[in-house]
Amino acid sequence: MPPQTVLPPWRGFNLLDMFFVGSDGNWREDDFRWIADWGFDFVRLPLCYTLWIEDDDPLKIAEEGLAKVDRAVELGRKYGLHVCVNFHRGPGYSVNAERKEPYNLWKDEAALDAFILHWTTFAARYKGIDGSKLSFNLINEPAAPVAEMTRDDHARVVRTTVKAIREVDPDRLIIADGIQWASVPCPELADLGIAQSCRAYAPGRVSHYQASWAGPEAMNWPEPVWPGVEEWGKVWDRRALEEFYRPWADLAKTGVGVHCGEGGAYNKTPHPVVLAWLRDVLAILKGHNIGYALWNFRGAFGILDSEREDVEYEDFHGHTLDRKLLELLREC
């Protein structure tokens, strides 16, 4: 099976300084420097649109908030990192539950109008930056198709937004997450000339063991092993992972660029399990020439300050460094 060839196999991290309602947007230059120094070439910026609006009005965009995004884009360029700008929360939709959106991106024209306003603002702002250096990832992890968002709804929103961005910046590299929280590709969008993004979280009983936001049941899952964890009515091993990623490899065969925008395991999963599972995941992605971005750089999934209880950390400029995880990522 030929590997993915449209996108470079970028490798890197998600940086979360504007990810959440209430985030301060104070990007740390050291993060960009260290990522580049360790040989990585990609950062994804999951953003929350409420951080650059005024009076909680999605149609009133504030320059002060946009300037903070500008700084991250410039730091990426300074250190030779491809920067992927992502709306983790956009007008009308977010997978995060800390704030309920007042309308539905997939159904309400007012939400789509606001969504397009924000993306075309970014398109105008960054027009002229080459697509090899900057991409737009439209909206993080559209949910499973149900009444609130059908597959047709999703395609309509993506197509309408892509058209609007291209009217401002025809050459911008655009990426759409797959549906069902970026686990299922969208071949119906293959004609659109955009890339698509998958995830490296399957099976969830490895990646989200005891993660409170995964639901109360996650607190009671048995401690995971790898291989051999049970989920979705089957026992997971490398072969099961290969089947999970096969639809993404098949999509790449049609000429669609594929990248894995997030992946990793929460800090309650035993560290040896994380390393064994992630080694298999990354080997499969590498075999298809699909790059990845670990969630996150600093924090519970990351290589710095992850607060795992079963890791012998190394001091690194005042941070705790998970050297084994870092070296696995550099190897793969």
Q: Are 268 and 306 in contact (CB under 8 A)?
A: no
Q: What's the number of domains the chain is made of? A: 1
Is pLDDT larger for residue 99 or for residue 29?
29
Short-list 13, 66, 60, CA closest to 261: 13
pLDDT mean across residues, the chain: 97
- Domain at 102, CATH number: 3.20.20.80
In a domain, 253, yes or no: yes
Q: How far apart are CA 263 and CA 240, in angstroms?
A: 17
Q: What pLDDT is attached to residue 114?
A: 98
**pLDDT mean over 77-89:** 98
Q: What is the mean pLDDT of residues 71-88?
A: 98
Report how far apart the first and last C-alpha atoms of the chain are (Å, whole number). Answer: 20
Return the pLDDT at 244: 98
Tell me, yes or no, whether 329 lies in a domain. no
pLDDT in tens, 249-269: 999 999 999 999 999 999 999
Bond into 296 cis (ω within 30):
yes
Peptide bond just before 227 cis, omega within 30 deg:
yes
Residue 332 lies in a domain: no
207 belongs to a structural domain: no
CA neighbor of 149 nearest in space, from 108, 206, 182: 108
Euclidean distance between CA atoms 164 and 170, whole angstroms: 9
Residue type, 215: G
Tokens for 176? 């759409």
Residues 285-299 pLDDT 10s = 999 999 999 999 999
Burial 272-284 (b: 16+ CB within 10 A, else e): ebbbbbbebbbeb
Q: What is the mean pLDDT of residues 190-214?
A: 97
Query: Maximum distance among all alpha carbons in the chain?
Result: 52
Name the pLDDT band for 199 (thresholds 50, 70, 90). very high
What are 150's two structure tokens?
């059908």
Q: Is residue 307 part of a domain?
A: no
Place of tokens 């969830």: 204
pLDDT reading at 212 higher than 70: yes
Omega of the bond prior to 222 within 30 degrees of 0, cis? no
Tell the burial category of 309 from Cβ atoms under 10 Å away from its Cβ (0-12, 13-18, 19+). exposed
pLDDT digits (tens, 9 = 90+) for 32-71: 999 999 999 999 999 999 999 999 999 999 999 999 999 9
Q: What is the C-alpha to C-alpha distance for residues 223 and 221, in angstroms, rounded to an integer?
A: 6
The answer to whether residue 303 is domain-embedded is no
Residue 49 pLDDT: 98
pTM of this prediction exceeds 0.95: yes
Average pLDDT, stretch 203-215? 96
Residue 1 confidence (pLDDT): 55
Helix residue ranges per DSSP H, the chain: 29-37, 63-78, 109-126, 151-168, 179-182, 204-207, 238-253, 271-287, 323-331
Whole domain around residue 26: which residue ranges? 11-199+242-297
**pLDDT beyond 80 at 2:** no
pLDDT tens per residue, range 186-197: 999 999 999 999
76 occurs within a structural domain: yes
**Two tokens at 129?**
């930056």
Output the pLDDT for position 61: 97
Q: What single DSSP character describes residue 32?
A: H
pLDDT score recorded for residue 288: 97
120 domain residue, yes or no: yes
